[in-house]
């Protein structure tokens, strides 16, 4: 992927994670992926990840094996205060030097414990020891100082704590700015665009040539929790060029996918819908059966959501649909609880009772039980109630008519288990509202 | 950790993950941890994890470097249909043999596409090629067959798809049963016990000597989403002995922690509370403010929860608390929306309206905004309404009195961000109900 030769001056890193809990499979290593993503932003190529147990020999061997294959070995883990923390000893052995006390950090450790009103345990002193000739890296949120050392003329080793919060803070503040990543100044900039509603292959088809493997900027797709995301990576000789190319490819993706793209980078569907409601000064209420509160939970994930969401009902039984919302038992008995007439009634009554601009209602078969041949597990009906007349200049009477609603209802069949079906149902409800707020027909 | 010598006949494995998205940090590798945990259950020691990009040479080198260091190399990823999938080619190169068509799998592939009503793309045929002399491993849920081969007399390589679902199914069904893990028969059995309510160090303090590092079975703690879990690992010469020791240490943990332990292994708090409600034939309703539906969502995570949960309200505004539940504006104005009098009223009215045995109400400052000096972010009030008289033999009148309730209310201060505060609030509400159902006072 990133051949190392004289024609390619990009710096290479190998990421090493240390810990018994990792090789025993008791903890998933998230540090390696996080560090890789950080290195990518500055154009440093990651050649490999390696994970070894808390074993002196294993750590030594891993450092030795990596030494001639990269410019940076980025290590996390194994510098705690207990006897199974052996990374500093292994590094000293590879460097063939003793460990020395770092008195500045020892003082810092003392103060750390004084602040907490307890004496420093003797064993914590090891955390102020670093290999002779190495530099200490400050830790602003823990007792383990980092280590910065060379294990050959060309290979620099950075050792950081394994605790993700401490590692991330140390890497961002004290490590990343010191890495010389590319003598050519090559830079990778990335952006992620999020879609919901179509599968990965359907999104890929719409993107066509944009996904060609040899394209730069490259466009790749990933899926997580039903959200198909496009990752755009631009690798160019300067930051300005990378930024310009990234923006151009982003526009091409938007042209190919239109409103299917709901947001980018850290934006969530519920934030985007919330923003649309807030900016148009509208409110939404919810009436949930199979999602059982998940839709309301998503809406209220967003700080400030009380501006546009005040009321929700979870009517998990038929009786609750009748007593709480006024859905007639006749409709329920005629069409079944999972039916468009029922969700239409739920949304209409929720809008009426809450006096909200919109109301979303969801009823479905989340599974694993409860499916029938005509309504298998995954069958979900969703309705959106909205004002009988659009809001014109100012508030028209029709927009404030809560007794009458227009209603859009749709039936979906979502794949997957109970958690999937509920998650997709809530996201699809938000998506129906999003398209309505954008004034576009739902293309799904 | 697991020295390899003639006195220690335990088999060793190295786990290799292949994929650009992994070394670029766009995807977190969960396969390695999962496979490690599976191998631990049969006593196979994992010596290391390694991750390399979709690069022929890098994959070859990783296999060659591992070959003399372990008995099994367990590979996932790089056997898809596209040109960047190179694991099978790398394995063939290490074995110094050509790739050959596996006609049985080709037929299977054909049928796979016929079922989906579309022709097999030419490029998918590569998925039926395996190195000469290797065995194919069946894939019951995808198009990539696995590969089982030897790269030396002593080193066996297993190649599986990178898609977690396919890999897990293949590993469980076709790989794990074929591994000869230990000629000494040494076995590791594990169990996880879950607690909620105390911090990790407080739990550790109660466990005392049970957490000694040299103890076997060992007891370690991990924290995820506020749940402090104890992992008990028993490593013994036979499965019977390991099971007996595991059970004994589990009992010692239970003796030390009592009702703080709510469940074990895959059990969730909402399952356990649901089971307690179901077995005593009781129902619960919810009235949520800051959790915004999360508490109801958790209750309905459990299939069959309609037996004990039918109705919930999300009353996110003061107006909604008054209109939907009948909480008096005077109480709200006097004490504030985040107060014990308000959650008491919410729970009382929710129980009355829903005619449920119990009602839980939550109101708090989830943040990041809305905090005040007297009620900072993280302040959460929770109330549990329950029948005025306990249910005696059969149904006593007091148990069916929904107009009057006894109410337990508590105020908590949860640390962390909005997501944490909401999550801990919902779990604490479930915990209050759990202790009540167990007939024990809340020790938190």
A270 touches chain B (CB under 8 A): no
Check CB contact under 8 Å for B25 and A48. Answer: no
B225 touches chain A (CB under 8 A): no
Q: Which of A52, A297, A418 sits opposite B293 (nearest CB)?
A: A297
A349-367 pLDDT tens trace: 999 999 999 999 999 999 9
pLDDT of residue B441: 94
The size of the A-B interface in CB pairs under 8 A is 245
pLDDT of residue B211: 86
A304 chain-B contacts, CB cut-off 8 A: 369
pLDDT of residue A1: 37
Check CB contact under 8 Å for A303 and B366. Answer: yes
Q: Which residue has the tokens 């504030």?
A: B336
Alpha helices in B208-337 (DSSP H): 239-257, 269-279, 294-299, 318-320, 329-335
Check CB contact under 8 Å for A354 and B301. Answer: no
Cα–Cα–Cα angle for A175, A176, A178, nearest 5°?
Answer: 70
Smallest CA–CA distance from B354 into chain A, residue: A320
From A215's Cα to the closest Cα of chain B, the distance in A is 14
Per-residue pLDDT for chain B (444 aa), expressed as one digit of tens each?
333 333 345 789 999 999 998 998 888 999 999 999 888 777 788 999 999 999 999 999 999 999 999 999 999 999 988 778 899 999 999 999 999 999 999 999 898 888 777 788 888 889 999 999 999 999 987 888 999 999 999 999 999 999 898 899 999 889 988 887 655 667 778 888 999 998 877 888 899 899 887 899 988 887 778 898 888 888 888 888 989 999 999 999 999 999 999 999 889 999 999 999 999 999 999 999 999 999 999 999 999 999 999 999 999 999 999 999 999 999 999 999 999 999 999 999 999 999 999 999 999 999 999 999 999 999 999 999 999 877 665 555 667 889 999 999 999 999 888 999 999 999 999 999 999 999 999 988
Mutate: best of B297, B305, B306, B415, partner A, most A CBs <10 A:
B297
pLDDT of residue B2: 38
For A298-301, the CB contacts below 8 A with 24+ separation are A298/A269, A298/A270, A298/A426, A298/A427, A298/A430, A299/A270, A299/A273, A299/A274, A299/A430, A299/B292, A299/B293, A300/B291, A300/B292, A300/B293, A300/B314, A300/B316, A301/A268, A301/A270, A301/A271, A301/B292, A301/B418, A301/B419
Model-level pTM? 0.78
Closest CA to B65 of B151, B126, B145, B135: B151
A319 chain-B contacts, CB cut-off 8 A: 310
Average pLDDT for A34-45 = 85
pLDDT of residue A184: 60
Q: Please, are residues A257 and A195 in contact by the beta-carbon 8 Å criterion?
A: yes
**Residue A239: enclosing H or E segment and its boundaries?**
helix A239-257
Task: Work out the number of other CB atoms within 10 angstroms of the CB of residue A190.
Answer: 19
Question: How many Cα atoms occupy the beta-carbon half-sphere of A75 within 13 Å?
Answer: 35
Sheet bearing B358-364, strands edge to edge: A406-413, A379-386, A358-364, A284-288, A309-315, B309-315, B284-288, B358-364, B379-386, B406-413
Q: CB within 8 A of B11, min separation 6: which ones? A: B44, B45, B71, B72, B179, B180, B181, B182
B176 touches chain A (CB under 8 A): no
Q: Structure tokens of A141? A: 């949120």
Between A36 and A177, name the one with better pLDDT.
Answer: A36
Closest CA to B91 of B166, B33, B156, B178: B156
Q: Which residue has the tokens 């879990």?
A: B229
pLDDT of residue A181: 61
Distance, first Cα to last Cα, chain A: 38
Mutate: best of B26, B193, B366, partner A, most A CBs <10 A:
B26
pLDDT band with cut points at 50, 70 and 90 for residue A80 = confident
Between B401 and A97, name the one with better pLDDT.
Answer: A97
Mutate: best of B14, B37, B49, B283, partner A, most A CBs <10 A:
B49
Least confident among A257-266, A367-376, A377-386, B37-46 = B37-46
> What are the backbone angles phi and psi of residue A391, rounded to the nearest 5°?
-75, 125
Assess whether pLDDT exceeds 50 at residue A270.
yes
pLDDT of residue A182: 53
Least confident among A224-228, A229-233, B49-53, B397-401 = B397-401
Average pLDDT for A418-427 = 95
pLDDT band with cut points at 50, 70 and 90 for residue A119 = confident
A50 touches chain B (CB under 8 A): yes
Cα–Cα–Cα angle for B87, B88, B92, nearest 5°?
Answer: 115
Q: Please, are residues B409 and B419 in contact by the beta-carbon 8 Å criterion?
A: no
Distance, first Cα to last Cα, chain B: 39
Q: Structure tokens of B218? A: 């060992």
Chain B (114-173) residues lying within 8 Å, Cβ to Cβ, of chain A: none
Q: Structure tokens of A78? A: 């194994």
Assess whether pLDDT exceeds 90 at residue A393.
no
From A260's Cα to the closest Cα of chain B, the distance in A is 22
Average pLDDT for A281-307 = 97
Chain A (300-329) residues lying within 8 Å, Cβ to Cβ, of chain B: 300-301, 303-306, 309-317, 319-320, 323-324
B58 chain-A contacts, CB cut-off 8 A: 1, 47-48
Smallest CA–CA distance from B292 into chain A, residue: A297
B36 touches chain A (CB under 8 A): yes
Task: Work out the number of other CB atoms within 10 angstroms of the CB of residue A133.
Answer: 12
A87 touches chain B (CB under 8 A): no
Smallest CA–CA distance from B314 into chain A, residue: A312
Give the DSSP letter string of B162-193. SSHHHHHHHIIIIIGGG---BTT--EEEEEEE
pLDDT of residue B431: 98
Assess whether pLDDT exceeds 50 at residue A3.
no
Smallest CA–CA distance from B301 into chain A, residue: A419
Task: Work out the number of other CB atoms within 10 angstroms of the CB of residue A204.
Answer: 17
Q: Where are the beta strands (DSSP E) in B20-140?
A: 45-52, 72-76, 99-101, 129-131, 135-137
Q: Which domains does chain A have, with CATH numbers?
A: 12-178 (3.40.980.10), 187-264 (3.30.70.2860), 269-438 (3.90.950.20)
A28 chain-B contacts, CB cut-off 8 A: 28-30, 33
B386 touches chain A (CB under 8 A): no
Q: CB within 8 A of A97, min separation 6: which ones? A: A131, A132, A133
Distances (CA, A) of B165 to A22, A269, B129, B141: 21, 26, 22, 8
Specify the 3-state DSSP secondary structure of A129.
Answer: strand
| Residues A403, A385: Cα–Cα separation, whole Å | 11
Q: Please, are residues B299 and B310 in contact by the beta-carbon 8 Å criterion?
A: no
Check CB contact under 8 Å for A296 and B315. Answer: no
Check CB contact under 8 Å for B20 and A1. Answer: yes
Q: CB within 8 A of B70, min separation 6: which ones? A: B12, B13, B14, B47, B155
B244 touches chain A (CB under 8 A): no
Check CB contact under 8 Å for A33 and B29. Answer: yes
Task: Work out the number of other CB atoms within 10 angstroms of the CB of residue A14.
Answer: 25
pLDDT of residue A266: 82
* Average pLDDT along chain A: 90
**Residue A205: enclosing H or E segment and its boundaries?**
helix A200-207
């Amino acid at each position: 992927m990133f051949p190392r030769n004289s024609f390619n001056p990009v710096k290479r890193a190998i990421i090493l994670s240390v810990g018994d809990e990792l090789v025993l499979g008791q903890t998933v290593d998230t540090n390696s992926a996080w560090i890789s993503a950080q290195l990518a932003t500055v154009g440093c190529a990651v050649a490999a990840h390696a994970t070894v147990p808390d074993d002196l020999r294993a750590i030594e061997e891993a450092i030795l094996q990596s030494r001639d294959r990269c410019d940076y070995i980025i290590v996390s883990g194994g510098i705690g205060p207990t006897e199974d923390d052996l990374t500093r000893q292994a590094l000293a052995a590879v460097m063939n030097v003793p460990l020395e006390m770092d008195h500045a950090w020892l003082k810092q450790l003392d103060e750390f414990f004084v602040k907490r009103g307890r004496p420093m345990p003797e064993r914590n002193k090891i955390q102020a020891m670093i290999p002779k000739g190495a530099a200490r890296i400050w830790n602003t949120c823990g007792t383990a100082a980092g280590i910065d050392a060379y294990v050959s003329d060309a290979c620099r080793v950075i050792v950081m704590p394994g605790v993700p919060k401490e590692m991330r803070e140390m890497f961002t503040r004290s490590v990343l700015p010191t890495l010389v990543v590319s003598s050519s100044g090559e830079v990778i900039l990335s952006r992620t665009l999020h879609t919901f509603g179509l599968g990965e292959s359907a999104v890929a088809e719409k993107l066509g040539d944009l996904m060609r493997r040899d394209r730069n900027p490259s466009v790749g797709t990933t899926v997580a929790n039903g959200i198909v995301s496009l990752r755009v990576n631009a690798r160019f000789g300067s930051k300005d060029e990378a930024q310009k190319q990234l923006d151009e490819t982003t526009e091409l993706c938007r042209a190919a996918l239109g409103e299917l793209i709901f947001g980018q980078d850290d934006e969530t569907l519920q934030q985007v819908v919330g923003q649309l409601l807030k900016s148009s000064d509208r409110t939404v209420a919810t009436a949930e059966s199979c999602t059982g509160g998940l839709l309301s939970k998503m809406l209220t994930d967003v700080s400030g959501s009380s501006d546009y969401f005040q009321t929700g009902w979870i009517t998990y039984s038929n009786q609750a649909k009748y007593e709480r919302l006024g859905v007639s038992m006749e409709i329920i008995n005629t069409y079944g609880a999972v039916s468009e007439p029922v969700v239409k009634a739920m949304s209409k009554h929720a809008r009426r009772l809450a006096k909200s601009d919109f109301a979303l209602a969801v009823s479905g078969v989340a599974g694993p039980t409860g499916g029938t041949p005509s309504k298998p597990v995954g069958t979900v009906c969703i309705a959106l109630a909205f004002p009988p007349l659009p809001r014109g200049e100012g508030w028209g009477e029709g927009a404030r008519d809560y007794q009458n609603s227009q209603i859009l209802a749709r039936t979906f069949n979502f794949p997957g288990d109970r958690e999937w079906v509920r998650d997709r149902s809530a996201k699809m409800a938000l998506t129906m509202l999003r398209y309505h707020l954008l004034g576009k027909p739902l293309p799904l």
